[in-house]
Structure 1
Amino acid sequence: MNSLPLAKLDQLVARHAEIEAALARGAEGEEIARLGREFSDLSPVVAQVKALKAAARDLGEARELAAEGDAEMRELAQSEVARLETRIAELTREVRLALLPKDTMDERGVILEVRAGTGGDEAALFAGDLYRMYARYAAEKGWSVEVLSESEGTMGGYKEIVAALHGKGAFARLKFESGVHRVQRVPETEAGGRIHTSAATVAVLPEAEEVDVDVNEADLRIDVFRAQGAGGQHVNKTESAVRITHLPTNTVVMVQDERSQHRNKARAMALLRARLLDSERQRQEAGRAAERRGQVGSGDRSERIRTYNFPQGRVTDHRINLTLYKLEEVIAGTALDEVVDALVTEHQAALMAAAEEA
């Protein structure tokens, strides 16, 4: 507990009480919304701080009892001292974690982009496997999935698929998935039984709100055209596909999945905002690259982060040297949490180490 910034903790508790009193008096409009969010953010850490202080008081009393009284009382007190010391160590770690700098985007949904890389048709099939893994994972978390754009491979899977995963905390869970995913397996089309290596890239972007990115209409070139691919007569008759080019950055997005040009434009704008926000985040992160060397989640899309080896039933995350012999469960989305939890824990440990050095 002595390793914690006690003065800062007292300030947080006092601020929490101050907001609680203001809400009880009846704030209005935007003020009540702002105070409500701050109160909600502070409540978990304040509860932990109060529990920690209560445990520290109890520990002091238990130590006094352990130093006096009869043998039976001292034995009981010593047992309580051991329990409380363990509890205080746990609470101290939880409070330290709660004090770590927060990623303001963690509670957002995500824009998920999966693209086939090297490996031809097999890479497209693998991209399809990855997309379905994330879609099933989203379903387990209660998030909704909305496909924004897709381009199917000639033998199945996807050359590219972009989807929005709507759900609180989706970015916090998936932000370390960006990078190159590699697969090693025998393709169905391989008669000789040889193992092939293919790859797909994953990009996870936080969903952007209009207030995050100021997009000037004068900076946009919007083209409409007929959608191509499967879709029947409608595809050939209606100019519903939308391509938007952000001229200052030459960022191009295209959506053609909906029959409504209006809906396609809305989806394309959401995708454009997410990419512009992500570019700005990447620029800021590049400025802190030296500080973050060795941490997971650098966001480098060219970095090989994970290998899925089907013959061995093995999944290896190269950033944290984690290997699980649960490939089928990971691909099914049911064991992906084990990988995500390990990545989050490693990231938190790196942040805590950096905070101690500061």
Structure 2
Amino acid sequence: MFERLAELEGKYIQLADQINDPDVIANQTKWRQLMKEYSDMTPLMEGYQEYQQLTATIEESLEMLAEKLDDEMRELVKEELSESKSRLVELEKEVTILLLPKDPNDDKNVIVEIRGGAGGDEAALFAGDLFRMYARYADARRWKTEIMNISESDLGGYKEVSFMITGKGAYSRLKYESGVHRVQRIPTTESGGRIHTSTVTVAVMPEAEALDVQIDMNDVRIDVFRASGNGGQCVNTTDSAVRMTHLPTGITVSCQNEKSQLKNKDQALKVLYARLYAREREAYDAAISAERKSQVGTGDRSERIRTYNFPQGRVTDHRIGLTLHKIESILGGDLDEVMNALVTTDQMEKMKASGFAE
């Protein structure tokens, strides 16, 4: 592993020279590309530098222990040697993770779509609960949440809500949320006190740019219509809502949250880009890994990934067998324990696939 880092060090030094080259700086597109590559390599190189320092310290400590030392000095050297060896083990794990193939979308913003599934009004109410959960999680990480489209139910839930979360690393954390979320609780409309099971689907897509997927606008039909629901007199009396249909694929996107038709068109186009990119990526992933399934999910949005059981106060993620008895805290946006477990499992699977772990 560290032999590979020694090879990468030469490329890192070369990148450092390039980003300080006046000719490269004059070409901002190329400079930004090289800067990103340099930035991505920096944690690896810092780890390699620490590795070199630790191995030198260990070698020096062993040489000193071979000499005649008084008892106090010998104990100090032994202590330093033990600490250096322990840190070296930790460092190897850290660097191994950094060497794993990185998802190119991890640093992107995300578009999240939540839809009520089986369960009618109760499913719509839980869709609202999940939206607030993600919004609070985003707020805790200082990410920005922007509603793109919303369709309310009669009881105040959401039949459907789509929103963008903007922030560094948003996709790297939220990508594991795609799938079917199941809720078990007594609905407010249930007079007999019976527990009902309802489902909500969540789709998490990286924000796509024009460079990620090409759209011929001649293939897109755009319809405008009068928005519905709560939004004020202006929203409900003008044709500000926008529906885009991508004719080759049949993908349809609607946005009506903004009062401006132009803004709704912009939002709809973002969602369309994201859906087409997700479609292309899923097809590519299926082609190269049809035989391989990750422990954290296949990406199939029809699979049940998590259950929220209110009577027992528990949340269970079925992909990794994790159960936490703190449902109110999780729905309040405290998702880090679940997210960290999913990330760790994903990393372990990638380490096995890369030959770094047994």
Give the letter for the 1:279 counterpart.
R
Matches of 1:294 and 1:33, distance apart in 2: 33
Matches of 1:221 and 1:267, distance apart in 2: 15
Partner of 2:53: 54
Partner of 1:306: 306
Say if 1:109 and 1:169, in contact at 8 Å, map to a contact too: yes
Partner of 1:337: 336
The C-alpha deviation readout for 1:221-266, integer Å capped at 9, x for no partner, is 1111112223454345311111111111111101112221111111
Q: What are the ranges of 5 or more consecutive residues in structure 1 without an aligned counterpart?
A: none
Matches of 1:236 and 1:63, distance apart in 2: 78
Say if 1:66 and 1:75, in contact at 8 Å, map to a contact too: no
Say if 1:68 and 1:74, in contact at 8 Å, map to a contact too: no
Secondary structure of the residue aligned to 1:101 is coil
Deviation at 1:290, TM superposition (A): 4.2
Partner of 2:217: 217
Secondary structure of the residue aligned to 1:156 is coil
Q: TM-score, normalised by structure 2?
A: 0.94
Partner of 1:189: 189
Q: What are the ranges of 5 or more consecutive residues in structure 2 without an aligned counterpart?
A: none
The C-alpha deviation readout for 1:165-187, integer Å capped at 9, x for no partner, is 11111000100000011111111
Secondary structure of the residue aligned to 1:165 is strand
Deviation at 1:205, TM superposition (A): 0.3
Say if 2:2 and 2:48, in contact at 8 Å, map to a contact too: no
Deviation at 1:289, TM superposition (A): 3.6
The C-alpha deviation readout for 1:184-238, integer Å capped at 9, x for no partner, is 1111121222111111011000001111111101111111111222345434531
Name the % identity: 51
Partner of 2:267: 267
Say if 2:123 and 2:199, in contact at 8 Å, map to a contact too: yes
Deviation at 1:149, TM superposition (A): 0.7
Say if 1:179 and 1:305, in contact at 8 Å, map to a contact too: yes
Matches of 1:272 and 1:201, distance apart in 2: 18
Partner of 1:324: 324
Q: TM-score, normalised by structure 1?
A: 0.94
Deviation at 1:357, TM superposition (A): 7.2
Partner of 1:18: 14
Matches of 1:283 and 1:233, distance apart in 2: 43
Equivalent positions of 1:124-135 (< 5 A) are 124-135=124-135
Equivalent positions of 1:1-358 (< 5 A) are 4-6=1-3, 8-26=4-22, 27=24, 28-29=26-27, 30-70=29-69, 72=71, 73-290=73-290, 292-333=292-333, 335-356=334-355
Matches of 2:97 and 2:236, distance apart in 1: 55
Distance 1:232 1:64, change over 3 A: closer
Matches of 1:289 and 1:192, distance apart in 2: 48
Say if 2:96 and 2:356, in contact at 8 Å, map to a contact too: no
Matches of 2:223 and 2:261, distance apart in 1: 11
